[in-house]
Amino acid sequence: GESVGLHLPTLSVQEGDNSIINCAYSNSASDYFIWYKQESGKGPQFIIDIRSNMDKRQGQRVTVLLNKTVKHHSLQIAATQPGDSAVYFCAERGDTGRRALTFGSGTRLQVQP
Amino acid sequence: GAGVSQSPRYKVAKRGQDVALRCDPISGHVSLFWYQQALGQGPEFLTYFQNEAQLDKSGLPSDRFFAERPEGSVSTLKIQRTQQEDSAVYLCASSLGQGNEKLFFGSGTQLSVL
């Protein structure tokens, strides 16, 4: 299949290092935030989500931090592995009356062995 | 089924041809979404169903795009008189609904209009 994100911002890290991917949002009414991983030729795969009443949420090797004051959230991946190489998208739900998620433009993570 | 299934995986159409893209959501998922993803970009919302009701079609780019989910399960996205700018990956996603917004995506249909 076609590659996803040929001209995306790229974060390059060494295997074993921690990765941080940032996402800014503009809609102060957004109440739900979510991160997806997309590998070439595949659909987005859920990683982790967080609601606006929380500041931090942890999963397996992943953490999402939400700062509503500056309208920013970040995905942290601990001990990054080659299998983490992919394009990462943040998304938000901006209006409780609208169920659809709005996606950002994505960041390519490259893990160097 | 284990996940969201989309078919065909690839579709090549001549400009002006009509196409139909199919989505089988996860069994029991109330909500179904269609997104369009251009090369190098994030998915863009097209339309949303809750069971058989199409509650939001604000993202459909023109009246050439039509989606249906007649029995609240399988959905079809139809594009009439395809144009080159319709070339993209069309992603289907489903969720449990009822406050559970976590979307599960299929692998998409890659549409190329020549």
Closest CA to B113 of B5, B10, B29, B15: B15
Report yes or no: A102 at the B interface, CB cutoff 8 Å.
yes
The DSSP call for residue A3 is P
Which residues in chain B touch residue A46, judged by CB atoms under 8 angstroms apart? 102-104
Res A3 pLDDT > 60 = no
Sorted by sequence, the CB contacts under 8 Å of residue B97 that are 6+ apart come out as A99, B29, B30, B31, B50
Which residues in chain A touch residue B45, judged by CB atoms under 8 angstroms apart? 100-102
Option in A5, A34, A42 nearest B40 (CB)? A5
- Taking CB atoms and an 8 Å limit, are A105 and B31 in contact across chains? no
Q: Which burial class, exposed, middle or buried, applies to A52 when counting CB atoms under 10 A from its CB (0-12, 13-18, 19+)?
A: middle
Which residues in chain A touch residue B104, judged by CB atoms under 8 angstroms apart? 46
pLDDT at A28: 85
The DSSP annotation for B88-108 comes to EEEEEEEE-BTTB---EE---
Q: What percentage of chain B carries pLDDT values higher than 70?
A: 97
Residue B98 pLDDT class (50, 70, 90 cuts): confident
Looking at mean pLDDT, say which of A2-6, B2-6, B75-79 comes out highest.
B75-79
Size of interface A-B (CB pairs under 8 A): 70
CA A93: distance to chain centroid? 14
State the average pLDDT over residues A75-91: 97
- End-to-end Cα distance, chain B: 33
Res A1 pLDDT > 80 = no
Which is higher by pLDDT, B21 or A100?
B21
